[in-house]
Amino acid sequence: MTRSIRKAVFPVAGLGTRFLPATKAVPKELLPVLDKPLIQYAVEEACDAGIETIILVTRGDKQAISQHFARDDALEAFLEQKGSKAVLERVRAILPSGIEVLEATQEQPLGLGHAVLCASKLVGNEPFAVILPDDMIRSDGPGALRQMVDIYEQCGHSVVAVEQIPIEDASRYGVAAVEENSRGLLEIQTVVEKPAPEDAPSNLGVVGRYVLSGEIFELLRHLGTGAGGEIQLTDGIARLMDIDTVLAHPFEGQRFDCGSRFGLVQATLEYAMADDELAAQIETFLAARTRT
């Protein structure tokens, strides 16, 4: 019987150097897209997929992230006294009822595979999800993780999110070669971390959503360093493929690379243009700017 996906790991221990000095005191994952931080969009996607336990893998000094999801009785009392009911509801909805937030510590930046491994005691030996908050995915229907969990529940195999990338960008991604099986699902045949464009096995880049078997932890424990001298999750997935099928899922939705300045601006504009009031203001502003 296929076990349900109840836990999601969020690797949030990075320094966010691309956004300095903004991220000197504020974690990158708390940078806003409109009025919500990146991490909240990711947690909402996880909750929509049925996740019950959020596991934040931090450096240990990033308490602001867990504080964002903690109740603030003083703030709620102030908003209630002021009569700001709509704002109060948004604050209380930051973390849905029944969702647990746990923390694991990654003391050294040894790669994404190492960050995931740091969560092993909290996950146990059950299947789990991994979400990279700065890979923000906007979907009109079910979220990207919901799509992947549905596939896992149908077949019981690990699932990795992929999308087509410009081949010249291959060295920024894990890159997967796939074959379609009899059920119309894509089975990964090869996956390589950060290949040179001429060595890339395809133009399918792995992006920040994973549904993985708990067996990945034992593989990561015995994995040496890979690209960049780090323990790469992609290399662990390649080892997992030796013992089980791993599927690739070209998710439905639009991804924004919010680990880059342009990606964060792009996401902000897309979400703003989906807001009727903001869209009208932006169009007026741009029209006036064009005339000057």
Nearest-angstrom CA–CA distance, 200 and 175:
7
Over residues 263-286, the pLDDT tens digits come to 999 999 999 999 988 999 999 998
Q: Is 257 left (phi over 0), alpha (psi -120 to 50) or beta?
A: beta
Is 1's pLDDT higher than 60? no
Residue owning tokens 């923000």: 136
Q: Is 53 helix (H, G, I), strand (E, B) or coil?
A: strand
Nearest-angstrom CA–CA distance, 196 and 110:
22
Give the lowest-confidence range in 23-37, 101-115, 158-172, 224-238.
Answer: 224-238
Instruction: Identify whether the C-beta of residue 53 lies closer than 8 Å to the C-beta of residue 99.
Output: yes
Using only C-alpha atoms, the chain has a radius of gyration, in whole angstroms, of: 20
Question: In whole numbers, what is the pLDDT of the chain averaged over residues?
Answer: 92
Is 48's pLDDT higher than 90? yes
pLDDT tier, 2 (very low <50, low <70, confident <90, very high otherwise): low
**More confidently predicted of 252 and 13:** 252
Is 62's pLDDT higher than 70? no
Class of domain 7-259: alpha beta
What are the domain boundaries of the chain? 7-259
Is 180's pLDDT higher than 60? yes
Over residues 90-127, the pLDDT tens digits come to 999 898 888 999 999 998 888 999 999 999 999 998 99
Q: Is 67 helix (H, G, I), strand (E, B) or coil?
A: helix
pLDDT score recorded for residue 188? 96
pLDDT score recorded for residue 292? 65
Instruction: Identify whether the C-beta of residue 231 lies closer than 8 Å to the C-beta of residue 215.
Output: no
CA angle, residues 32, 175, 119, in degrees to nearest 5: 55
Over residues 67-91, the pLDDT tens digits come to 999 889 999 999 998 999 999 999 9
Rounded to two decimals, what is the model's pTM?
0.92
Containing 175, the helix (H) or strand (E) segment is strand 174-180
Instruction: Identify whether the C-beta of residue 153 lies closer than 8 Å to the C-beta of residue 2.
Output: yes
Task: Give the rounded distance of the alpha carbon of 29 from its chain centre.
Answer: 10
Instruction: Identify whether the C-beta of residue 64 lies closer than 8 Å to the C-beta of residue 27.
Output: yes
Q: Is 162 left (phi over 0), alpha (psi -120 to 50) or beta?
A: beta
The pLDDT of 49-61, averaged and rounded, is: 91
Over residues 197-254, the pLDDT tens digits come to 999 999 999 999 999 999 999 999 988 777 777 888 999 999 999 999 999 999 999 9
pLDDT score recorded for residue 182? 86
